[in-house]
Structure 1
């Protein structure tokens, strides 16, 4: 790598944060480019060449451009990390992929959607998103019982993909008080030496 990776982002996007967290954990030099999305910077022709759907995050790694947060995570660990991040056995690989699917599915439609309503004013069904979040968190709470990370005792991209929106769920009105295993998991990630956090937003009344 001849220059820092450029990360095109919104600083309050969990999708963007998971990429930033991954680069920090891998100790990969990067610089952030905050897009003025309110004024359509993500739809500008030059940005659409990097991210054809006009979404964040996107990266430019010395001319290699990629979009989609989970795809970027896979790229980063493949180029700058090790197989430990993506699983070393068929079962580990499958479990990690399941959590990546959950990050793109249940996390996106649950805690991320609830936070879109309170932080960004999105016209989504807030009550439904909060209900989905609590349903997911009950599953995660059980999955983390007796485990350090989502897939056993080693940090993987599953944890990186899941962290941001779960940690910031209270900003969407979704309390984590009933989920001690999740809280402990978040604390372990936040205690990592190269952890970098996401910009915080006010917490509304939780339910």
Structure 2
């Protein structure tokens, strides 16, 4: 008997500035009909509060209010839930994006330190050869940051720094956010209409 499985992605939001990137990515995937398994680090919750006024009191209620009403479904996993479905390679997902990705999380992934669900889920992507995209948002970068990125790139991880372009004529912050989210979706071969392409 054939089992029909809805396609799903894992999205991680860490404590780097730029939490709007992860929120917009989640919204975009949900609107395209994908299910999203969402992990938010403790520092990520703090940045969501500081930058977007997400209240962390009742986290599941906050997420349900913000991400409800889309075609896809949101599944929230607490960062400490190391026994979550996505901690196992036998649970099928399309891949994982950590956006924004702090240097601490990037280092954890680069060195296989699976001490929470964020690191474990990323480790699963590596061992199962599934797409893993990291969007670091830090400046300036020192040698350890760069060496960790190089180690991950050599493993096939896509490193997409949060570097906006301006050739398409952005007028608002939303335009800049949409461009970067669109570049992530492009890297995963997911069609979207988030920004105007060169030549269009």
Query: What TM-score results when the alignment is normalised by the length of structure 1?
Result: 0.31
Relative to its length, the structure with more strand (as a share) is 2
Query: What TM-score results when the alignment is normalised by the length of structure 2?
Result: 0.32
